[in-house]
Amino acid sequence: MDKNQHLLEKRESSKLGGGEARIKRQHEQGKLTARERVLLLLDEGSFQEIGAFVEHRSTYFGLDKMKFPGDGVVTGYGTIHGRLIYVFSQDFTVLGGSLSKTHADKICRIMDLAVQNGAPVIGLNDSGGARIQEGVVSLAGYADIFFRNTRASGVIPQLSVIMGPCAGGAVYSPALTDFIFMVEDTSYMFVTGPNVVKTVTHEEVTSEDLGGAKAHAEKSGVNHFTASNDVEVIKQVRDILTYMPQNAQELAPHTTQFSFTEAKNKAIQSILPDNVNLPYDIRKVVESLIDDDSFREVHEDFAKNIVVGFARLEGRTIGVVANQPAALAGVLDIDSSRKGARFVRFCDSFNIPLLVIEDVPGFLPGTDQEWRGIISHGAKLLYAFAEATVPRITVITRKAYGGAFDVMNSKSIGADLNFAWPTAEIAVMGAKGAAEIIFKREIAAADDHEAKLKEKEAEYAEMFANPYRAAERGIIDEVILPEETRQKLIVGFKMLENKVDTLPKKKHGNIPL
């Protein structure tokens, strides 16, 4: 046979993965194949494959007769919106996408290239975990990947898309990356599946309940973004990348294609209810400040009392962290602190300025929170803000009470500009609680305790339920009208564009984990 023809045929057969029947099964389950996913993810015609003919070298349990070119993972590079991207896509049609040492080596090669060339890695995961027939060699392959995930953390963005059942080692590499995307109904993540769970703990649970997209979006917080199918999740990944730089030495791309509906500026004044104890949706405030349709919420269904996500201000990426009065009155608890901290650290790693919108009544009290470690978890958010060197601006819309005031990007922990609306209340605690403590004796001695409490509450509120004590001490830089806020943010971030702030020389800090 003609040698060129031979090559072309080899190429074609490598594209078949585990064969037509398994591809058909993959499609019947509503899933695309590994190769189809890559082609959809990358700009048309840009994919360059590496290692299409690589095969494993194992012989145990008949593996020597089960060889597939590429060994169950499609790897290579290409572009998304014209920017270089490295990608690996596990092929469930080949031995369940299981990871052999060879399969791992292919992924490692892509990761090494990505770090050396400063471009993101996207992993399309669809794998039954370590290739059981290979034994410890495949475990070592996983460890090779985990090592690289960790070393690449904060150097290049790493995104993991879960597109099938991912079990065992297949979940730990994604867990080490920056963001996890999951597909409803077809993707699962668990350290051990329902059968093992039943044997060990006698719990009966479905794959969906144990480790489906919803369970990880709402309960564990492992999943950052949920999509309804393979096509949608790939669109999400392409979109979210536009908010990120290629690596930690660069800035996120700046687009001139943005719009802002001026009417939002007028409406912003009426978002806060007159009664300070009533909730409102902080997303409305966020949406009113940023470029139209630019908000991409991260972790939308987890710890809803804090809202985090990417947005744009005049075409430039910012990271938004906002307390959400519409959920648990916006208190900080364990989950919201973890969620906020992780997002702040991503933004700081990749030079994304931070905007904090604050309306926080404090930390959530109680034995549940204390015994599960709100002290350490709350400290994560404090630590994350305090160590962030990117430009940071805070806007206090309403409550800024107690330790939570300090934590939410206060000036003393390094925020560059702190604004407050006239409705801001910056105090150690709410007026009632404060009056009950500091006027305890006076209230007890009064003939009418209730009336005295009310009087003292009003006295405390008069003193602190406003932004002016803080402004007098320079703790707040400026008290601003809600409709002035967008412009203040635009010029503020512009002023901070060339900010240089460095951490003291150290190996690394010791964030309370």
Supply the residues annotated as catalytic. Answer: 168-169, 403-404
Among 23, 104, 114, 139, binds ligand HXC (CB under 6 A): 139
Q: Specify the residue, 19 or 512, whose C-beta has the smaller distance to ligand HXC.
A: 19
Q: Near ligand HXC by CB under 6 A, which window of 167-175, 337-345, 396-404, 461-469?
A: 167-175
**Number of alpha helices (DSSP H) and beta strands (DSSP E) in the chain:** 21, 17
**Are the C-beta atoms of 469 and 436 separated by less than 8 Å?**
no
Among 120, 129, 141, 430, binds ligand HXC (CB under 6 A): 129
Q: Specify the residue, 95 or 282, whose C-beta has the smaller distance to ligand HXC.
A: 95
**Are the C-beta atoms of 140 and 103 separated by less than 8 Å?**
no
State which of positions 187-206 bind ligand HXC (CB under 6 A): 193
Instruction: Look at residues 119, 134, 115 and name the one whose alpha carbon lies nearest to residue 85.
Output: 119
Among 130, 290, 332, 344, binds ligand HXC (CB under 6 A): 130
Min dist CB 38 to ligand HXC, Å, is 20
Q: Specify the residue, 131 or 488, whose C-beta has the smaller distance to ligand HXC.
A: 131
| Count of residues engaged in binding ligand HXC, rule: CB under 6 A | 17
456 in contact with ligand HXC (CB under 6 A)? no
Among 56, 101, 131, 398, binds ligand HXC (CB under 6 A): 131
Amino acid letter, 216: H
Among 68, 88, 142, 181, binds ligand HXC (CB under 6 A): 142
Q: Near ligand HXC by CB under 6 A, which window of 161-169, 197-205, 221-229, 271-279?
A: 161-169
Q: Where are the alpha helices (DSSP H) in 118-181?
A: 136-152, 172-176
Q: Where are the alpha helices (DSSP H) in 279-422?
A: 282-289, 334-349, 367-371, 374-387, 402-407
Min dist CB 167 to ligand HXC, Å, is 4
3-state secondary structure of 108: helix
Q: Which tokens belong to 177? A: 């990356």
Q: Which tokens belong to 54? A: 């690589």
Amino acid letter, 86: Y
Return d(Cα 513, Cα 507) in angstroms, integer.
Answer: 17
Return d(Cα 376, Cα 382) in angstroms, integer.
Answer: 10
Return d(Cα 492, Cα 82) in angstroms, integer.
Answer: 31
From residue 90 to residue 119, the character string flagging contacts with ligand HXC as x (rule: CB under 6 A) and all else as - is -----xx-x---------------------
Q: Which tokens belong to 233? A: 């999740």
Q: Specify the residue, 136 or 263, whose C-beta has the smaller distance to ligand HXC.
A: 136
172 in contact with ligand HXC (CB under 6 A)? yes
Q: Where are the alpha helices (DSSP H) in 401-448?
A: 402-407, 431-438, 440-445
Q: Near ligand HXC by CB under 6 A, which window of 126-134, 221-229, 272-280, 402-410?
A: 126-134
26 in contact with ligand HXC (CB under 6 A)? no
Residues that bind ligand HXC (CB under 6 A): 95-96, 98, 128-133, 139, 142, 165, 167-169, 172, 193
